[in-house]
Structure 1
Amino acid sequence: MHFSMSSQLVSTRQRLIQAALELFSAHGVSATTTRQIAEKAEVNEVTLFRNFGNKHGLLLAVLEESAAFKDLGESLVRRATPPGNVYQALKDYASDSLHALERVPEFVRSVVGEADQFPAENRRALGRGVTEANRYVAQYLATVIQQGHLNTYLPAEKLASLLNGMILGYAVIEFTSEFHELWEDRDDFLENLVELFLHGAMSSSAESAINSLQGGFITTEVADLPASLVHEILQQARKWGVRDYALAYVLFGAGLSATEIISLERSHQIYDTQGHFLQITIPGFVRQVPVNQWILGKRYGSFTNNPLIKWLKSRKDAQTAMFLNETGTPISESEFETRWQVWSNGLLTPQGQTPVITQAQQTWRVEMLMRGISLENLIILTGCDRTQLQPYVRRAKEKAALEQATRLDHKPG
């Protein structure tokens, strides 16, 4: 590859990254010298050192900035608009991901074969790339699960990890071995991967999976929590600090799922004296939800001063994620669920069971209907359709009937 005068439009940094990617792919990381990279990029070696420090610093930039790796996971965002054809969307995502890896097979072989020689930061960069791909897939899966098009007993985050793990495993096997009989060809692998994923990991039975894919809906058993238990969970969360209090507040005040909450960024918050809103940005589906001041009869601050705003104002870091874990990185769904277990430890529902995190969203939906929101407006806020929300309507009517019966059970006077 030769860089002409027109390449001056491309930054020196990008020319070095592209040259390194090509040479790493052709010869491996260990066999490639910084002098070779500098010559290919038509700069002197000192410029390379000034920009990246050393060869492994340049490799780190390749892993983090090369378009071949940035694109992993984004195809699902571009192609899938829920509720579309889930089978085709996942197959397209897997196919596009493999295409991205197949463009640089020698580089993949080199990274796999020489990874133990890389600094820890380079290995962490590989991990961050996979995590970023997982985030896109988990957001998409969370949407189709919430809308009733898939039945699952695993969190969206775990399902995304399984899917990406199988895709990367295929690439490693294909790029590093020959004459195996694991699958007939690439299409055979893709078709069986998606079939297994949808009919196995995504459903407790093949029948329910097929029903979901054909547009059937799964009856939701609504198990909202009583006000006293909700307030106790919020108070327990408050004892664990401003972040935990904010997490619990958003759960019960905005009616979001755990997957939606961990995907929030600081810029997704909008507030003034008239209202407090969060923007939910999920592939193919964007909506806004209010953050309620009042939760089951008790006020938790105002639109401009509440647990979430206090948490964000306490932050001194530059992370874009709205919620972080103890190490200062974006909190994961499993870490969030662990926090819930801490807050609800020792508490029981009226049915004698330990509260689960999904009941927070169910509680919010029932509460909004009890307050008088129309079904049409709840459809807009939740992104669910009428059929999916009918169980909540029935539960709200049931609670309203119980409240009316209780009021009538007073001494006439």
Structure 2
Amino acid sequence: MTDNQEKILNAFKQLLIENGYTKTTTRKIASLAGVNELTIFKNFKDKEGLLNAAVNDYLHDVDEITSSITLSGNVETDLIMLSRRYQNFINDHQAIVLAGFREAFEIPSLNIAVQKIPLYFKHFLMAYFKKMQTAGVIKQHLDVEAQAMSFIWLNFGYFLTRQRFSNPEISFDLTYFLQNNIKSFVNGLTK
């Protein structure tokens, strides 16, 4: 990616967080990135092209994260580590996530793009849970797809709560969340 492309993409992500997709214009992106608006069109075609580039960037990051993971075979240790990585990832890439909540139903392409991130994690988790079932570590009768989705919802719910509410009575810090909620989740999985 060129310097201009990176500047444009970073400006787009920042404006997504601040304004949402609809209110983020190519003119605002160009101004924030310090480039001519035509440079955006030349490099990304349009705002949807920027959105696709941002999602692809995020998916590349997910691929990098999961390819560097060394799983221990200890379900609690592995899921705490995966939760921590998921929280870091989703915080780093909140632009797409938050834009998805604001406008996904009005912009079908955004809705499809936002779904790619949890789907990737779902498939990774399903493969892990199947492997742990085969090894006899987690219960054989569990539906791995349902468990993968429950794990994603648990983590995504934590992210949303932290984004939306600053009240400490509603939102725990990450370490407390990992130590308590993941442990309870694992107790439901293991024999």
**Structure 2 length normalisation: TM-score?**
0.82
Aligned: 1:61 with 2:50: no
Over 3 Å counting, the alpha-carbon distance change for 1:136 and 1:109 in structure 2 is same
* 1:18 alignment counterpart: 10
Give the Cα–Cα distance (whole angstroms) in 2 for the partners of residues 107 and 131 of structure 1. Answer: 14
Give the Cα–Cα distance (whole angstroms) in 2 for the partners of residues 33 and 27 of structure 1. Answer: 10
Aligned: 1:190 with 2:182: no
| Structure ranking higher on relative contact order (CA contacts 8 Å, 6+ apart) | 2
Q: Decide whether the 8 Å contact of 1:108 with 1:172 is kept in 2.
A: no
Give the Cα–Cα distance (whole angstroms) in 1 for the partners of residues 93 and 57 of structure 2. Answer: 14
Over 3 Å counting, the alpha-carbon distance change for 1:45 and 1:21 in structure 2 is same
The structure with more helix, counted as a fraction of residues: 2
* 2:87 alignment counterpart: 98
Give the Cα–Cα distance (whole angstroms) in 2 for the partners of residues 15 and 26 of structure 1. Answer: 17
Aligned: 1:113 with 2:105: no
Give the Cα–Cα distance (whole angstroms) in 2 for the partners of residues 50 and 59 of structure 1. Answer: 15
Over 3 Å counting, the alpha-carbon distance change for 1:54 and 1:73 in structure 2 is closer
Q: Decide whether the 8 Å contact of 2:11 with 2:32 is kept in 1.
A: yes
Q: AA paired with 1:126?
A: V
Q: Deviations over 1:204-259 (max 9, x none)?
A: xxxx2xxxxxxxxxxxxxxxxxxxxxxxxxxxxxxxxxxxxxxxxxxxxxxxxxxx
Q: Deviations over 1:244-299 (max 9, x none)?
A: xxxxxxxxxxxxxxxxxxxxxxxxxxxxxxxxxxxxxxxxxxxxxxxxxxxxxxxx
Q: AA paired with 2:151?
A: L
Q: Deviations over 1:301-347 (max 9, x none)?
A: xxxxxxxxxxxxxxxxxxxxxxxxxxxxxxxxxxxxxxxxxxxxxxx
Give the Cα–Cα distance (whole angstroms) in 2 for the partners of residues 24 and 165 of structure 1. Answer: 23
Give the Cα–Cα distance (whole angstroms) in 2 for the partners of residues 54 and 79 of structure 1. Answer: 35
Post-superposition offset of 1:12: 4.1
Over 3 Å counting, the alpha-carbon distance change for 1:98 and 1:86 in structure 2 is same
Q: Deviations over 1:96-152 (max 9, x none)?
A: 1111222355664443233333x2121011112211111222222222221122224
Q: AA paired with 1:190?
A: L
Q: Which structure has the larger Rg over C-alpha atoms?
A: 1
The structure with more strand, counted as a fraction of residues: 1
Matches within 5 A, 1:22-171: 22-66=14-58, 70-72=60-62, 75=65, 77-82=67-72, 84-105=73-94, 108-117=97-106, 119-171=107-159
Q: AA paired with 2:85?
A: D
Classify the secondary structure of the residue corresponding to 1:153. Answer: coil
- RMSD, aligned α-carbons: 2.7
Post-superposition offset of 1:33: 2.1
**Structure 1 length normalisation: TM-score?**
0.41
Matches within 5 A, 1:300-315: none
Post-superposition offset of 1:176: 1.4
Over 3 Å counting, the alpha-carbon distance change for 1:110 and 1:121 in structure 2 is closer
Post-superposition offset of 1:192: 2.4
Give the Cα–Cα distance (whole angstroms) in 2 for the partners of residues 78 and 193 of structure 1. Answer: 25
* 1:174 alignment counterpart: 162
Structure 1: gaps spanning 5 or more residues: 1-8, 209-413
Post-superposition offset of 1:80: 3.1
Post-superposition offset of 1:25: 2.5
